[in-house]
Amino acid sequence: MPGRHHQSVLHSSHHGAAIWTHRTDSPPCTEHGRRGERRNHIEGAREEAARELARSRTRDLEFVWANFLTRGMEQGAIPEADPRLLARAILGLYNSVFHWYRPGGDLALTEVADFYVRRCLAVAGLPMDVVGAGAKPARPRTAKAASRARAASR
């Protein structure tokens, strides 16, 4: 509209995230200043709350994966490594697929799954050829695990 002045402003929240608001010069509202400022503040607060919830869920998922990997390391199924870093590496690889995979595209989902499962195994320090139903780790580390592996292969 002619005669209106628009201004974008960068704010910093108490969580350290930057929030952009867009202001339009318009008659002030007596309770909250200019029109739109309160709405932008509320939207910014909602967005920050959603980001914090996503970060919290990510931390929870990384924790569960790190515990899972730690148990595998303790049982000798996975080579020793930093479980938290390994969890982040595997999850990062896995979570990248949605950025580019499209059903009905050039690659079938089974091709993508096979490729990614093998790469996740490699990241975990396992041989990529253990993919498949009933696959076992290449070398059990304990006598009990070796005995179970022999019994299962009969």
36 neighbors 22 (Cβ within 8 angstroms)? yes
Q: Which residues of 39-66 are buried (b: 16+ CB within 10 A; e: fewer)?
A: ebeeebeeebeeeeeeeeeeeeebeebb
Sign (positive/negative) of CA torsion 67, 72, 75, 81? negative
* pLDDT per residue as tens digits for the range 17-41: 444 444 555 454 454 555 556 667 7
pTM over 0.75: no
Question: How far is the C-alpha of 137 from the C-alpha of 154, rounded, in Å?
Answer: 16
Q: What is the token pair recorded at 5? A: 């002045």
State residue 66's pLDDT score: 96
* pLDDT per residue as tens digits for the range 130-144: 665 344 444 444 555
Question: How far is the C-alpha of 35 from the C-alpha of 29, rounded, in Å?
Answer: 6
Q: What is 9-142's CATH topology?
A: Tetracycline Repressor; domain 2 (1.10.357)
Q: Which residue has the higher pLDDT, 2 or 133?
A: 2
Question: How far is the C-alpha of 50 from the C-alpha of 143, rounded, in Å?
Answer: 49
Average pLDDT (49-69) is 95
* pLDDT per residue as tens digits for the range 103-124: 989 999 999 999 999 999 999 9
Cα 135 to the center of its chain, rounded Å: 27
State residue 115's pLDDT score: 92
Question: How far is the C-alpha of 66 from the C-alpha of 82, rounded, in Å?
Answer: 9
Per the listing, tokens 């179970």 go with 148
